[in-house]
Structure 1
Amino acid sequence: MIGAAARAVFAGLLLTFVLAPGIFAPLLAPLAPETGPVIYERASLLSLSLSHLGLVLAASVAATAVAVTLAILVTRPFGAAFRPLARSVANLGQTFPPVAVLALAVPMMGFGAGPTLLALFLYGLLPIFENAMTGLTALPPATLEAARGIGMTPRQRLLRVELPLALPVILAGVRLSVVIALGTATIGSTVAARTLGEVIIAGLLTSNTAFVVQGGLVVGLFAVLLHDALIQLERRLSGPRRGEG
């Protein structure tokens, strides 16, 4: 987790890049072609950032819902036999690279956000599923026995005991999935999805390193800040630890 000062610096840089990128023109000018633009202006970085984050959020919410549901089902006695099948489904996104998923999805879904959402969803399943499985199967037996002893039904034990105790571990998987999706979403611009990858791809096509740096820095800053925010959330849910003030 980054410190408060570093967090403030990164957040300030991100806001400046997104809202007033022209401020950085003197720094980026040496990276641009002699007669080429320095700052990407075909679309505002703010609108691209919002669209990029929207895709990541939608895919991550869907992946979390499906992965956690699968983990709950296969950790119940009636669903244990389906654990290998569920793991195979979760591994599907890691088997096919996102670029391959996009290529296969475009003929069925057309260009735009759809193929990107599908690729991010499939790619985000495995980390969440594995962490949810770990969290739900590594609970203290004494705690579960105590819940049974006071007469809790299986549903009550799941909602009041198992999921709250497993939540920090599940969130660690969500954090990994979100950070992966944030970087992977950039390739969505290859199929006309509005993401920050548009800036990077424009830079690559025109040999304009200034564009590449702009897009890469914004994505990188978003990744650092989101990663840090989710770590803080995990720590709060885990409660105070020894040695931490």
Structure 2
Amino acid sequence: MKTWLPTLLRLALLVLLVVFITRPEWFEPLLRPLTENGAPAIYNRGSLLSLTLQHLGTVAIATACATIVAVALAILVTRPAGVEFLPLSRSLVNIGQTFPPVAVLALAVPAVGFGEEPTLIALFLYGLLPIFENALTALTTLPGNVTEAARGAGMTGWQRLVKVELPLSAPVILGGIRLSVVISLATATIGSTVAAKTLGEVIIAGLTSNNLAFVLQGGLIVAALAVLIYDAFSAIERFAARRMGQEAE
């Protein structure tokens, strides 16, 4: 029973989240005490389901782009011809951590305008570092006997990378992607300040109208998504580690 309890709790959270974003009016009695002066208890300026899907879509696009760039940079700097680019690569992936997301949005808006684009830029820059560092660590700590065996088997550099190095590095790289996604889920909420369609729209509407029910709705949905996605990536990491004969952390 204890083994299944965490799974049952996650399943219950998922069901509760789906019900909440598709039938939020069912929860109105619970949220009504948080409102004042007859204000609506359920967000009524858009669909919570639509905003959740758009929020997830923005995070997915930014994370996919960050993963491609970060892993490619990690591969580059772990090849003999690219070692000298390691300091430059580290400087590039640290850009997102140097500037607060709000500052990145402020700089991006004049260049690309309002909407989803500046949010994607901010999330992309913010997501590079954890993926790059995890990929770099994974690729530089591979068992030497395995890579030597692959080289001895006559594999080319490309074959060793695709068939040996990346599969063995997958669990650690997935750990970086997991961190990047969780960071982006929370950071994406500020995208609504530049007219991006995210769950931040609900939170901002609550803050501007002093409606705690709105703030709680947006915050709880983002928190639930973060927990569920974090657990999903953790499960995928463990599966990948088992397939590679490694012990999952």
Normalised to the residue count of structure 2, the TM-score between the two structures is 0.95
Residue 38 of structure 2 corresponds to residue 74 of structure 1: no
Corresponding residue number in structure 1 for 2:132? 129
Letter in 1 for 2:58: L
Letter in 2 for 1:204: L
Residue 153 of structure 2 corresponds to residue 159 of structure 1: no
Corresponding residue number in structure 1 for 2:115? 112
| Greater Cα offset, 30-39 or 163-172 | 30-39
Letter in 2 for 1:113: E
2:70 and 2:11 mapped to 1: Cα distance?
Answer: 33
1:78 and 1:108 mapped to 2: Cα distance?
Answer: 35
The SS at the match of 2:155 is coil
1:16 and 1:197 mapped to 2: Cα distance?
Answer: 20
User: Structure 1: 5+ residue runs without aligned partners?
Assistant: none
Candidates 45, 57, 61, aligned match of 1:58 = 61
Letter in 2 for 1:39: I
Would the alpha carbon gap of residues 156 and 243 (structure 1) be closer, same or farther in structure 2, given more than 3 Å must change? closer
1:50 and 1:197 mapped to 2: Cα distance?
Answer: 13
Deviation at 1:41, TM superposition (A): 1.2
The SS at the match of 2:67 is helix
Deviation at 1:3, TM superposition (A): 1.4
Give CA deviations for 1:149-200 in whole Å, capped at 9, x if unaligned: 1111001000000000001000000000000000100000000000000000
Candidates 26, 29, 36, aligned match of 2:32 = 29
Residue 202 of structure 2 corresponds to residue 196 of structure 1: no
Candidates 1, 5, 15, aligned match of 2:8 = 5
Which runs of at least 4 in structure 1 moved beyond 2 Å after TM superposition?
Answer: 240-244
Letter in 1 for 2:149: A
Corresponding residue number in structure 2 for 1:227? 230
Residue 111 of structure 2 corresponds to residue 101 of structure 1: no
Deviation at 1:242, TM superposition (A): 9.4
Deviation at 1:42, TM superposition (A): 0.8
Deviation at 1:17, TM superposition (A): 1.2
| Contact preservation (8 Å) 2:241, 2:247 | no
Would the alpha carbon gap of residues 30 and 125 (structure 1) be closer, same or farther in structure 2, given more than 3 Å must change? same
Corresponding residue number in structure 2 for 1:186? 189
Would the alpha carbon gap of residues 131 and 242 (structure 1) be closer, same or farther in structure 2, given more than 3 Å must change? closer
Corresponding residue number in structure 2 for 1:18? 21
1:242 and 1:46 mapped to 2: Cα distance?
Answer: 39
Would the alpha carbon gap of residues 21 and 69 (structure 1) be closer, same or farther in structure 2, given more than 3 Å must change? same
Corresponding residue number in structure 1 for 2:87? 84
2:13 and 2:205 mapped to 1: Cα distance?
Answer: 25
How many residue pairs align between the two structures?
Answer: 244
Residue 209 of structure 2 corresponds to residue 206 of structure 1: yes
Q: Percent identity, aligned pairs only?
A: 61
User: Structure 2: 5+ residue runs without aligned partners?
Assistant: none
Normalised to the residue count of structure 1, the TM-score between the two structures is 0.97
